[in-house]
Structure 1
């Protein structure tokens, strides 16, 4: 990082996004920090049996789960590509991963040898904070610098 808080030229910034409307806010912040560095986007699709464990009994075996996940993956790819195009991120630098978000974000950061991970956070409190969040898991487990960008309603403290 330079003295003005920007990543110096040629460095890589990994931006983890959830593909919501707030993703633009996170990418803009990362772009302002990255300067002329490489920007990589990542979204992680969680396995349905993980997301619905305890809600849908025997989630991994309910009929059609594979087809539903494939369909969802196609839709997520389109949305990720939309954000990449909107912010002029090269197609090879828009990564769609499958698994546990924090683990996949940290693994990709290692694979591309990034200099900074940028991730959004809603500033959880109370029970939400105790249960943890993807941003918190990335922050406390990454071997890279992490910038958590507060998104959502201002004055929501």
Structure 2
């Protein structure tokens, strides 16, 4: 059903939960899995953007390696998350975009601004993965 799945994650345990669901879905459908992380900064000098990418890259690589995502299918960008995710979905001909959502209060908090933007502007199916609350 899905040939290409774009999974947008954060470098966190929540991101790992989303990636686990996406990897499960990719295995189920025999899909190519692409993982994307967006640093939500707009007006930063290019050298500082590179520094931020270099800092987050090992964390994303570690998450992806645990799910056998090849390096060519790992993307880190800087900018407006929902726009970059939607554009990458078009560029990579994604059939499905998966990303996490948090359950708090109100519609914006319920799905988050990035998830809301992707859900409204993506050119393909969008699956929101509810992040399990950590037990404290």
TM-score, with structure 2 as normaliser:
0.86
Structure 2 alignment gaps of length 5 or more: none
Q: 2:16 aligns with which of 20, 24, 49?
A: 24
Measure how far apart 1:28 and its partner are. Answer: 1.1
Q: What do residues 46-71 of structure 1 show as CA deviations (whole Å, max 9, x unaligned)?
A: 2264xxxxxxxxxx6xxxx6554332
Contact 1:48–1:69 (CA under 8 A) maintained in structure 2: no
Secondary structure of the residue aligned to 2:12 is: coil
Distance 2:17 2:107 in 1: 26
Q: 39-48 or 137-146, which moves further after superposition?
A: 39-48
TM-score, with structure 1 as normaliser:
0.75
Distance 1:18 1:128 in 2: 18
Secondary structure of the residue aligned to 2:53 is: helix
Structure 1 alignment gaps of length 5 or more: 2-6, 50-59
The answer to whether residue 51 in structure 2 is matched with residue 71 in structure 1 is yes
Counterpart of 1:118 in structure 2 is 98
Within a 5 Å distance, the mapping from 1:1-157 to structure 2 comes to 1=1, 7=2, 11-35=3-27, 36-47=30-41, 49=43, 67-126=47-106, 128-129=108-109, 132-153=112-133
Measure how far apart 1:154 and its partner are. Answer: 7.2
Distance 2:84 2:118 in 1: 10
Measure how far apart 1:33 and its partner are. Answer: 1.3
